Structure 1
Amino acid sequence: MRERGGQAVPGMLVLMGSGETSPTMVEVHRAVAGRLRSGARAVLLDTPYAFQENAADISARACRYFERSVGLRVEVSGDVTGADWVFSGPGSPTYALDRWAGGPVGGDLRARVRSRRGVTVLASAAACTAGLATVPVYEIYKVGAEPHWRPGLGLLEPLGLRAAVVPHFDNAEGGTHDTRFCYLGERRLARMERDLPPGAAVLGVDEHTAVLIDLVSETLDVAGRGGLIVRRAGSSAVLPAGTRIGLAELRRLAEGTGAAVLPATPPPTAAPACETLEETVRSCERRFAAALAGPEPDPAAAARAVLRLEAELVRWAADTEEDAGGVDEARDLLRLLIARLAEVAPATSLRRLVEPLLALRDDLRGSGRYEIADALRQAMAKGGVLVEDTSDGPRWTTPPADG
């Protein structure tokens, strides 16, 4: 551990497969930030998504996430010189490379690893740039370019690792087609592996998973929901969440001289894996359907499923990547469930149903989330419950049936 101003400045490189500003990675970020000195300079490097029209919104959400969930005040800057903590995440790997490689940022990032100073957290698109080769994922998956590599930043080579980093390694968004391995699929990855330099491996980082490399002690920890996969010539070694190994052992695996590590149950002391937003959405949808199934529907239980979904929307509001539809999909489902709930609930049960929803609407308005509050009111109206705001608070009625 190096010293700066009388306080320890850790040397750490963190690679995340996805979920970098979601609840799944909060504990990882807190553990890393807890090693920083008081008053540490924390920088959000926005280059990978700087070309997007909503870049300012992505940065604002990320800054709120780190301040509120992690307790870390972050500045958005393209200058990482002297920063104690640097984070970069979603966007386009090649857009970032075009601006980093050969320039001061690329040089500063390499110097941080080489000198074992400062915390560097690279996730998703930014993690893709860390190795000796980079997947140009947009060009291949979205535009249809022939599978190929782009030269990476080479951050791992000072650690003796000749490897390409591939985030989103266990992605399954394709459904009927293979989107594993950062949307490449097995066929394209196998072809691209043959084009890597001799002796190079692929380090695959699963979604909602972090690889924490202590640059001083040269140890590596895997945390989160998935694992780190060391792939070479079609064979793979798996390091599941909860694994701790030395960099020397990882180098042997990457060189093909180490034994494969089989998946194992994480130690009992490991924190339980946090659900992804997609999993929570499906769980709420199932609970909602179960509550309204059968001859005696339970509107109150259905309302509880709706309330849980809204609470998860608040928790995930800062997520900048929004895998598999993310917050927008969850918000659409919230509107749908509210409308269905009002339609199917018997009139005698409406009070048990409507009053919790009105309390939810009041909370939403009180916290400034007027868009969702208005959507809730509109959905209730479609379901036959009219809400009127009065000086004495909201009042609800149901219009008389036709005829």
Structure 2
Amino acid sequence: MPGSLVLMGSGETSPTMVEIHRAAARTLRPGARAVLLDTPYAFQENRADISARACRYFARSVGLDVEVAAGVTGADWVFSGPGSPTYALDRWAASGVAGDLRARVRARQGVTVLASAAACTAGLATVPVYEIYKVGADPHWREGLDLLEPLGLRAVVIPHFDNAEGGTHDTRYCYLGERRLSRMECELPPGTAVLGLDEHTALVIDLDGESAHVAGRGGLTVRRPGSRVVLPAGTRTDLAELRRLAEGRGGATVPQPSTRPAGSGPAPAEATLEETARACEKLFNAAVAEPDMVAAAQAVLDLETEIVKWAADTEEDSGGVDQARELMRLLIARLGEPASTARLRSLGLRALVEPLLALRARLRDEGRYELADTLRAALLEGGVVVEDTPDGPRWTAAS
């Protein structure tokens, strides 16, 4: 079985990374043992819920039956993701998992997928992001797993490299920002490069063939003091070139992203939930302005569909599921507004109300009674009274 190392910047259990996971899973033998290491988030009260969502994601979207385990012995496929890098390092070092992970890479065996916090541990040093960003510790490094050393790479890995959640303050580089990262780079051993993985982006390394490619939505930045090279998604290269880049010797010969057949256009990028939510809100606003309640209701349904797709995401970046649900509630509450406007203009209500009742019925069928009640209240605000009867809902215009 060919060995591979997959490092992800974020989005590890989101729709954006499904194809990357599937490609790695296709290399596994029938009946392969797949293990999820929950160590990075094992201190959290919702540990079991995070693991359950991840297992559902891999079963439904990737076709892998995954077991939660404390070790990797005998595993063909290993995954670890969000949480605290330092919490994971301390426990992996004490339990021997750290050595087992290094042995997997050194032997070029099995599929090892490390994302977000777990990816942060893969280099010779690790960013203690919780301690620095959330507790206020002075910028410093912790010793890493150094899984890249057997590959001849002297580097640290920084996920969430293009993070923009800070808005008014710099949260790039795994929430460090430029000021702190520049200071910390001076403390790295001489000749150490930074491998920066953007969110929803992966570096996939074929350990046997020593090839590598960047997949997803962003890019891989190879950064050294005073210089940086960005390999965008689609770039295919090899470990020899990555070594040269990490040593500052290969910037002029970086392979370009692979081309697609003529006329096929660029490869479509999976939208994030935040982007989809914004698009649905824009369509909703345009539909309400008409008013076209069929289109407005469809925008809400499209947003709901996306929320379901992203429900398994274990690490919600900016614009996560909770924010999307809040937006959906807001849109539902606004659905009744055009009914009042239309009534005042003596327009027919049926074309406005029937699509909203159909949406309410769907919500009730799915057990989403809170949202269905929100929609009913919105209709009442708009001058439409909905009464549930044994023969189905009946509505009248309020006098």
Q: For 1:386 and 1:130, how far apart are their aligned partners in 2?
A: 60
Tell me, what secondary structure is at the counterpart of 2:220? strand
Match of 2:324 in 1: 330
Q: 2:298 aligns with which of 285, 288, 304?
A: 304
Q: Do the aligned partners of residues 16 and 396 (structure 1) sit closer, same or farther apart at CA in structure 2, a change above 3 Å counting?
A: farther
**Deviation of the 1:374 alpha carbon:** 5.1
Select 1:272's aligned residue among 261, 264, 268: 268
| SS of aligned partner of 1:36 | coil
Calculate the aligned-residue CA RMSD, in Å.
Answer: 2.1
Determine the structure 2 residue equivalent to 1:84: 76
Match of 1:106 in 2: 98
Shifted more, 27-36 versus 383-392: the winner is: 383-392
Q: Structure 2: which amino acid aligns with 1:310?
A: E
The offset of 1:361, in angstroms, is: 4.0
Report if the CA contact (8 A) 1:16-1:211 is conserved: yes
Partners of 1:340 and 1:261 lie apart in 2 by 55
Report Cα offsets for 1:49-96 as digits up to 9, x if no partner. Answer: 111111111111111111111111111111211101111111111111
Secondary structure of 2:111's aligned partner: strand
Which residues of structure 2 form unaligned runs of 5+?
Answer: none
CA distance in 2, matches of 1:371, 1:30: 36
* Native 8 Å contact 2:335 2:375 kept in 1: no
Corresponding residue for residue 355 of structure 1:
354
> Once the two structures are superposed, what CA deviation does each residue of 1:352-380 show, in whole Å capped at 9, x if it has no partner?
34433443444444445555555555555
> Is residue 67 of structure 2 the alignment partner of residue 68 of structure 1?
no
Tell me the distance in 2 between the aligned counterparts of 1:101 and 1:260: 39
Matching of residues 25-174 of structure 1 within 5 Å: 25-174=17-166
Matched residue, 1:320: 314
1:2-43 Cα distance to aligned partner (Å, 9 max, x none): xxxxxxx22000000011111100111111111111111111
Instruction: State the match for 1:217 in structure 2.
Output: 209
Separation in structure 2 between the aligned mates of residue 52 and residue 349 of structure 1, nearest angstrom: 54
Residue 386 to residue 62, structure 1, CA distance change in 2 (3 Å):
farther
1:6 is matched with none
Give the equivalent residue in structure 2 for 1:292.
288
Q: CA deviation at 1:351?
A: 3.5
CA shift in 2, pair 1:321/1:377, >3 Å: farther
Relative to structure 2, which stretch is displaced further, 57-66 or 358-367?
358-367
Structure 2 letter corresponding to 1:174:
G
Question: 1:254 aligned to 246, 249, 256, which one?
Answer: 246
Which residue does the alignment assign to 2:391? 392
The answer on whether the counterparts of 1:238 and 1:263 sit within 8 Å (CA) in structure 2 is: no
Structure 1 residues 263, 185: CA separation in 2 closer, same or farther (over 3 Å shift)? Answer: farther
Residue 176 of structure 2: aligned partner: 184
Equivalence for 1:283: 279
**Cα separation, partners in 2 of 1:400 and 1:385, compared to 1, 3 Å:** closer
The alignment status of 1:343 with 2:342, answered yes or no, reads no
Give the 3 Å change call, closer, same or farther, for CA 315–396 of structure 1 in structure 2.
Answer: farther
Distance (whole Å) between structure 2 residues aligned to residue 39 and residue 359 of structure 1:
44
Q: Residues of 2 paired with 1:116 and 1:374: CA distance?
A: 56
Q: CA deviation at 1:390?
A: 3.7
Identity rate, percent: 75
- CA distance in structure 2 between the aligned counterparts of 1:387 and 1:111, rounded to whole angstroms: 65
In structure 2, C-alpha distance between the alignment counterparts of 1:109 and 1:137, rounded to whole Å: 22
Q: What do residues 228-248 of structure 1 show as CA deviations (whole Å, max 9, x unaligned)? A: 110011311111111111101
What secondary structure, in the 3-state scheme, does the structure 2 residue paired with 1:174 have? coil
Question: Residue 76 of structure 1 aligns to a residue in which SS?
Answer: strand
Unaligned runs of 5+ in 1: 1-8
Instruction: Classify 1:340/1:360 alpha carbon distance in 2 versus 1 (closer, same or farther; 3 Å).
Output: closer
Confirm or deny that 1:195 pairs with 2:187: yes
Offset at residue 164 of structure 1 (A): 0.5
- Assess, with a 3 A threshold, how the Cα gap between structure 1 residues 290 and 90 changes in structure 2: closer, same or farther: same
Using the size of structure 2 for normalisation, the TM-score is 0.92
CA distance in 2, matches of 1:97, 1:371: 42
